[in-house]
């Protein structure tokens, strides 16, 4: 089970984190914001797309949206969302509960969007592998524990800073 893999991997780490279990499943980013009582930008959304070989797991801030042009420039392919069967194969998780932590497949590559760099030393909340669990972890530690390949810039719509936008 995905949640057990997540907990096992986290217990081996030296950094701090928290696991939150809610009374019901998160149905959307907005629902996660309410249930976790955190701002939208601190929700670390996990999106999974087909790759030429395997799948690309993209983690981005809750206030960011994938920019199709930036995505195609980065990966040289159009975005193709995985069907439920392929999502289960590559992540071990059902839709709405994909945790980027402790992914089972070797053909799954994790990338983090620069929208999360605002929170290198602050908790962001990603799925804990079930529909009603979340892991609070700094973006720095999330990058490490997921085995992230690199930071990428494929999003838009988020606040980069007071003097930018």
> What pLDDT, on the 0 to 100 scale, is given for residue 159?
85
Question: CA 63, CA 123: separation in Å to the nearest integer?
Answer: 15
In this prediction, residue 165 carries a pLDDT of 42
Cβ within 8 Å of residue 145, ≥6 positions away: 9, 10, 13, 15, 101, 137
User: What pLDDT score was predicted for residue 96?
Assistant: 87
State mean pLDDT over 131-146. 96
Render pLDDT for 26-40 as a digit per residue (tens, 0 to 9).
888 888 999 999 999
Q: What count of other Cβ atoms lies within 10 Å of the Cβ of residue 46?
A: 20
The pLDDT of residue 161: 65
* 51: its two tokens: 């790759």
49: which strand partners? 56, 81
3-class SS of residue 91: helix
Cα within 13 Å of Cα(138), Cβ side: 10
The per-residue pLDDT for 44 is 96
SS3 readout for 38-65:
CCHHHEEEEEEEECCCCEEEEEEECCCE
pTM of the model: 0.92
Contacts of 62 (CB under 8 A, 6+ apart): 29, 32, 33, 39, 40, 41, 42, 43, 44, 45
Average pLDDT over residues 136-162: 93
Phi-psi region of 123 (alpha: psi -120 to 50; beta: other; left: phi over 0): beta
On the question of pLDDT at 141 being above 70, the answer is: yes
Mean pLDDT of the chain: 92
Chain segment 61-90, per-residue pLDDT in tens: 999 999 999 999 999 999 999 999 999 999
Query: Residue 13's pLDDT is what?
Result: 93
Q: What is the pLDDT of residue 164?
A: 45
Mark out the alpha helices in 39-164 (DSSP H runs).
68-75, 84-91, 139-145
pLDDT score for 126: 96
User: In the predicted model, is pLDDT for residue 163 greater than 50?
Assistant: no
pLDDT > 70 fraction of the chain, expressed in percent and rounded:
96
Q: Is the pLDDT of residue 105 over 80?
A: no
pLDDT confidence of residue 127: 94
């Amino acid at each position: 089970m995905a949640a057990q893999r997540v907990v096992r991997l986290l217990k081996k780490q030296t950094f701090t984190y928290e696991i939150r279990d809610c009374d019901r499943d998160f149905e959307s980013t907005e629902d996660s914001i309410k249930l976790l009582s955190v701002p939208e930008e601190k929700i670390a959304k996990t999106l999974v797309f087909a790759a030429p070989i395997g799948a690309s797991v993209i983690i981005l801030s809750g206030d960011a949206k994938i920019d199709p042009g930036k995505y195609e420039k980065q990966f040289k392919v159009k975005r193709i969302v995985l069907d439920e069967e392929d999502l289960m194969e590559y992540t071990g998780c059902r839709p709405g509960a994909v945790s980027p932590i402790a992914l089972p497949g070797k053909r799954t590559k994790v990338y983090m969007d620069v929208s999360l760099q605002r929170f290198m030393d602050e908790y962001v909340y990603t799925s804990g592998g079930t529909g009603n669990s979340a892991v609070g972890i700094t973006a720095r530690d999330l990058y490490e524990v997921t085995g992230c390949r690199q930071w990428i810039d494929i999003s838009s719509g988020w606040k980069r800073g007071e003097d930018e936008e």
